[in-house]
Amino acid sequence: MQQGRATAPGSAGQGAFVQESFGGTPRRLFRASPSRLLAWVDCPRRYRMQYLDRPTPPPRAQRAHTSVGTAVHNALRDWWDLAPAQRTPDAGAELVRTSWIDAGFRDAEQSLAWRERAQGQVRSYLADVHPGDQPLGIERTVSLKTEEMALQGRIDRLDDRGSELTVVDYKTSRWEPTDDDARTSLPLALYAAAAWKMFRRRCVRVELHHLPSGAVATHEHTGESLARKIAEAESIARDARRAEDDYAEHGVDSGRFPTSVGPLCQWCDFRAHCPAGQAFGPEKSGWAALEDPAPRVRSST
């Protein structure tokens, strides 16, 4: 027996090996991403409209906080494509300017103010990032297969820190994340498990880097805690699969897609197609999250 060898979470079990060795029709794996799994948890009706209904009901126009987040993420991605000598905080701020998305804001004045604010946040953040510490991956797609699902997602940044890897996720919302947010995040745990398996290097540390405050929320998983998160994802996948199978038979008449009515209905991209969600309260404006924080939800990135 080999000693001291780390086994990546999500490795195929004996049952899968027996099935592959002696024939039989393998069960179709449920294809998912962390955002798809969390969409099911948040609201089955929104899940149906977003992933199953064809044609897909048109979503609302992009909100301003999404524009801010996308521009910041793009700038932090493209900064690593510069030559090391050009990786300065000011260069990062300039990348925010050139990648700015002017959508969802109240007016041009608000857009400009938030662009300058985002530039300042990126400049401050990059002042503490060594330009020579090239990450192992930037917006790296990782995948993980279990006996239940084939999962794929994209990591904002995957750091090579000695003998281990670290998953880094950028946050731009007004909510400052806590260590407990890092601990309970299903996407971060799945990314860590997938990176461990793909690169065959231990990956248990996950970090949430909050650009507005400069705070870093962290958690050190164990192999066991990652396995529990995989089991949680598989449980969600089983529920979603059963609902999708019912949808395949009954279509929109399926009763497995109830609306989860609550504060998120005021922010839902598919609210215009959901009477139950519309009845909860008035829709939030496209820039509301810049003034009043949206409800805290599980992160999908």
Q: Over 70: is that where the pLDDT of 33 sits?
A: yes
For residue 147 the two structure tokens come to 């006996």
How far apart are alpha carbons 6 and 223 in whole angstroms? 9
For residue 57, is pLDDT > 70?
yes
pLDDT, position 24: 56
Please, what is the Cα angle at 162 between 158 and 167, to 5 degrees?
A: 20
The Cα 113–Cα 225 span in angstroms is 42
29-37 mean pLDDT: 96
Helix (H) or strand (E) holding 121: helix 108-126
pLDDT band at 27 (very low <50, low <70, confident <90, very high): confident
Shortest CA distance to 77 belongs to which of 138, 23, 146, 162?
138
Strands 203-210 and 164-171: parallel
What's the pLDDT at 293? 62
Element (H, E) at 234: helix 223-250
Residue-level pLDDT at 294: 58
pLDDT at residue 28 in the model? 85
* pLDDT, position 10: 60
| CA distance linking residue 140 with residue 175, whole number of Å | 25
User: What pLDDT does 3 receive?
Assistant: 39
Mean pLDDT, range 42-52, rounded to an integer: 98
- Tell whether the model's pLDDT for residue 13 goes beyond 50: no
pLDDT number for residue 2:
38
Pairwise CA distance, residues 170 & 72, whole Å: 9
Q: Please give the share of the chain, as a percent, with pLDDT higher than 70.
A: 88
Is it the case that residue 231 has pLDDT exceeding 90? yes
Q: Tell me the average pLDDT across 20-24.
A: 46
Answer whether residue 284 shows pLDDT above 80: yes
User: What is the model's pLDDT at position 277?
Assistant: 96
3-class secondary-structure state, position 160: strand
Confidence of residue 296 (pLDDT cuts 50, 70, 90): low
Tokens of 32: 């998912």
* C-alpha–C-alpha distance, residues 132 and 83, integer Å: 10
Rg (CA), the chain: 21
The per-residue pLDDT for range 117-148, each reduced to its tens digit, is: 999 999 999 999 999 999 999 999 999 999 99
> Taking 90 as the threshold, does the pLDDT of residue 21 lie above it?
no
35-49, 228-242, 287-301: which range is least confident on average? 287-301
Q: How far apart are CA 229 and CA 65, in angstroms?
A: 29
- pLDDT at position 17 is 31
Average pLDDT, the chain: 91
Q: Tell me what pLDDT residue 291 has.
A: 85
pLDDT value of residue 1: 36
**What's the whole-number mean pLDDT along residues 237-257?**
97
The pLDDT assigned to 20 comes to 41
From residue 63, alpha-carbon distances to 39, 272, 288 in Å are: 18, 15, 9
Quick check: 192 and 221 in contact, CB under 8 A?
yes
Q: What is the pLDDT of residues 91-121, one digit of tens each?
A: 999 999 999 999 999 999 999 999 999 999 9
Residues whose CB falls within 8 Å of the CB of residue 235, separated by 6 or more in sequence, listed in order: none
| pLDDT higher than threshold 80 for residue 8 | no
